[in-house]
Amino acid sequence: MLRYVIRRLAWAVPTLLFVTFLVYIALRIGTNPVESYKRINPRATPAKIQQYIDVNGLDPNYVRGYFRWLFNFVTLDWPRSIKGSREVWPQLKDALANTLRLGSAAVVVGVTFGLLLGVYAALQPGGRRDVSVNTAAFVGISIPPYVSAIILQLVFAVYWSRWFGSTLFPTSGVYPPGQEGFNLGLMAKHMVLPTVVVAIQIIAVYARYMRSSLLDVLSSEYMRTARSKGISERRVLFKHGLRNALIPVVTIAALDVGSIVGGLIITENIFSYPGMGKYFLSAFGEGDFPLLMPWMVIIVTSVLLFNLIADISYAWLDPRIRLD
């Protein structure tokens, strides 16, 4: 097991380098960093431009440029953003913290309800509960996050106050304008609607996973063996059923981080929530290379990390899997 983990970790590093290299090329071709620098700073002197090219590793030779960028990145000598020439890390840190808060709230809510609904549906396959959970999950999957976000905004930003005279949930930002310092209550209030939007997707997906996984397990031979041994139905379900049903679900959960981030990007943008998604879209719109690359590194790293966790947890949870 330990050898397997070490080998996977050893592979993760070259993969990370390779993927960031691809991202580097894609961004250089796609956003044309030098041009966007000149566009945003039209009066920059040639010396300034040359300095910008140097610190960002925008050498005409992609390989040399990439290593130049990598060196600066690893030694924490990060170039400043094109627009406003601001430090990148403070912005990125805030965005990351906000997104982690929103994302983990949505994942906790989504996975909990999703798994519960899946079990609830699987216990009575073909019954009324099953059909209604399944249909609801289907509707949830078919609704893109921006549609649910727009509808929630319409209801809470406009009509709630019109009908009931007060706002229930705010629809933009983390704090109301002018708020200074930390305030948990206000923050939670602002997070309710974005969390709901992201969680709807997660609930729908996990209810379906859990249902089909549990149905597979329930119809397997060892469940019959367990019952015939005279173990109580409850114990059969929890000890043998749920534990085995969770194995594929955990794996899929770890692999799903990309689509959750995707949902977050869209949701954050609509609710003006200052997280990674808003950061990315505004940086991408400006072609701000110094802002984009660290963002990409974080996303690539987390995707690879969760892939790793998926593989390892799968091997760990399921003793039947042999690691050569």
- For the record, the structure tokens of 249 come out as 């679900």
Written as one letter, the residue type at 44 is: A
Residues 6+ apart with CB under 8 A from 72: 55, 56, 57, 78, 79
What sign has the CA pseudo-torsion 101, 104, 107, 113? negative
Nearer to another protein, 216 or 318 (CB): 216
Closest CA to 300 of 18, 16, 88, 94: 16
Nearer to another protein, 78 or 279 (CB): 279
CB of 128 to another protein, least distance (A): 13
- What is the rounded distance in angstroms from the CA atom of residue 182 to the CA atom of residue 248? 40
Written as one letter, the residue type at 88 is: V
Q: What are the start-end ranges of the H helices in the chain?
A: 2-31, 33-40, 46-56, 62-74, 88-122, 128-142, 145-153, 160-164, 184-218, 221-228, 233-235, 243-255, 257-270, 276-286, 289-317
- What is the rounded distance in angstroms from the CA atom of residue 195 to the CA atom of residue 116? 18
Interface ranges with another protein (CB under 8 A): 19, 23, 26-27, 29-32, 125-126, 135, 138-139, 141-144, 146-147, 150-151, 153-154, 157-159, 162, 215, 219, 255, 257-259, 261-262, 265-266, 269-270, 280-281, 284, 299-300, 303, 307
CB of 181 to another protein, least distance (A): 27
Are the beta carbons of 317 and 250 closer than 8 angstroms? yes
CB of 144 to another protein, least distance (A): 5
- What is the rounded distance in angstroms from the CA atom of residue 163 to the CA atom of residue 222? 57
Nearer to another protein, 49 or 300 (CB): 300
CB of 122 to another protein, least distance (A): 11
- What is the rounded distance in angstroms from the CA atom of residue 45 to the CA atom of residue 51? 10
- What is the rounded distance in angstroms from the CA atom of residue 284 to the CA atom of residue 291? 9
CB of 178 to another protein, least distance (A): 19
CB of 150 to another protein, least distance (A): 5
CB of 303 to another protein, least distance (A): 5
Nearer to another protein, 183 or 211 (CB): 211
């996990």: which residue's tokens? 206
CB of 167 to another protein, least distance (A): 12
- What is the rounded distance in angstroms from the CA atom of residue 243 to the CA atom of residue 88? 44
